[in-house]
Amino acid sequence: MPRYALKIEYHGAPFVGWQRQTDLPSVQGAIEAALGRLEPGPHTIAAAGRTDAGVHALAQVAHCDLEQDWKPFRLSEALNYHLKPDPVAVVDCAMVPDDFHARFSANERRYLFRILSRRAPATHQRGLVWQIKHPLDAGAMQEAAQVLIGRHDFTTFRSTLCQSDSPVKTLDHLSVSEVGTLGGTEYHFDVRARSFLHNQVRSFVGTLERVGAGAWSPDQVRRALEARDRAACGPVSPPEGLYLSHVGYAEDPFG
């Protein structure tokens, strides 16, 4: 039974998240339904990460097993045909070894978070950024972000609904950059780790936004981390600015 890796892009707004839920629209459900139109099901696919409602993906990775020996290009084309009109697209496809697992074989996840600063309502970027009306100090946010890098107990930045066995994770990279655009100023947060806790990235961004706005000092972020208390966290940012942007493997399945 051939196994295929799928690189998937989606707009998260219409979905309750990645994970299939009964009678509710999910990204996983949409792709499994498309697979069912190609081969009799049921189909169950596994993904590198379970994004929440409203969160987007530029390069989610999932794998599926099929009876037929498909050419990867033909499989992606067929899936994209049956995924319409949902805002989900298979942007790459590859046949992979039987021991490849989209989740357990991954050694890195990378997220991008976008904040748009401008007073006029967003039009083209609506639903794709967290819009605020005030400017931010990117340098202060970058300074505060360095506190979070490394291996820590991230209880402060972990949702109370998180099902991870331990709050201890290693954050490999967190950078903040200011990007000028024609319609305002964007602030991009690039975050990388092997794995993340539930709402960890959105908790980081919401807290760092307070630093950028001048409401928190960088040292307050350190104290919040050391408190190991969810109540010490800043506001949690909304989901619409968050993107799963890359999943890394020891050997790239897409070449």
Residue 179 neighbours by CB distance under 10 Å = 12
pLDDT value for 180 = 81
89 and 157 in a single domain? The answer is no
Q: Percentage of residues in the chain with pLDDT exceeding 90?
A: 95
Output phi, psi for 37, to 5 deg: -85, -15
Identify whether residues 97 and 114 lie together within a single domain. Answer: no
In a shared domain, residues 167 and 114: yes
pLDDT in tens, 82-131: 999 999 999 999 999 999 999 999 999 999 999 999 999 999 999 999 99
CA dihedral 96, 190, 230, 217 (to 10 degrees): 170
Residues 195 and 174 in one domain: yes
pLDDT at 163: 87
| CATH code of the domain covering residue 176 | 3.30.70.660
Identify whether residues 159 and 207 lie together within a single domain: yes
DSSP 237: P
| pTM of the predicted structure, to 2 decimals | 0.95
Q: Which of 65, 81, 61 is nearest to 9 (CA)?
A: 61
Which residues lie below 8 Å from residue 56, measured CB to CB, with a gap of 6+? 10, 11, 12, 128, 240, 242, 243, 244
Residue 239 has pLDDT above 90, yes or no: yes
Q: Within a domain: residue 251? A: no
> Could you tell me how many residues make up the chain?
255
Look at residue 220 and tell me if it is in a domain.
yes
185 & 162 share domain? yes
> Is 252 contained in some domain?
no
Number of domains in the chain: 2
Listed residues 84, 104, 124: the one ending a domain: 104
Given this model, what pLDDT does residue 41 score? 81
Average pLDDT over residues 32-52: 95
72: pLDDT strictly greater than 90: yes
pLDDT tens for 13-37 read 999 999 999 889 999 999 999 999 9
Q: Specify if 254 maps to a domain.
A: no
pLDDT digits (tens, 9 = 90+) for 161-216: 898 999 999 999 999 999 987 778 999 999 999 999 999 999 999 999 999 999 99
CATH at 7: 3.30.70.580
Q: What is the pLDDT of residue 181?
A: 77
Would you tell me how many other CB atoms lie within 10 Å of the CB of residue 53?
18
CA–CA separation, 249 and 108 (whole Å): 7
Task: Print burial letters for 160-175: b (CB count within 10 Å at least 16), e (below 16).
Answer: eebeeeebebebeebe
Q: Give dist(CA 247, CA 136) in Å, integer.
A: 29
Mean of per-residue pLDDT scores for the chain? 96
- For residue 26, tell me if it sits in a domain: yes
Do 42 and 165 reside in the same domain of the chain? no
- Could you give the count of Cα atoms lying within 13 Å of 51 in the half-sphere of its Cβ? 39
- The pLDDT-based confidence of 243 (bands split at 50, 70, 90) is very high
The confidence score (pLDDT) of residue 184 equals 86
Among 8-17, 158-167, 228-237, the least confident range: 158-167
Q: Answer yes or no: is pLDDT of 64 > 80.
A: yes
DSSP run (H or E) holding 209: helix 200-212
Amino acid sitting at position 22? T
Q: Which residues are catalytic?
A: 52
Q: How far is residue 143 CA from its own chain's centroid?
A: 23
Within a domain: 151: yes
Domain end, chosen from 55, 85, 104, is at: 104
198: domain range? 107-246
pLDDT computed for residue 169 by the predictor: 97
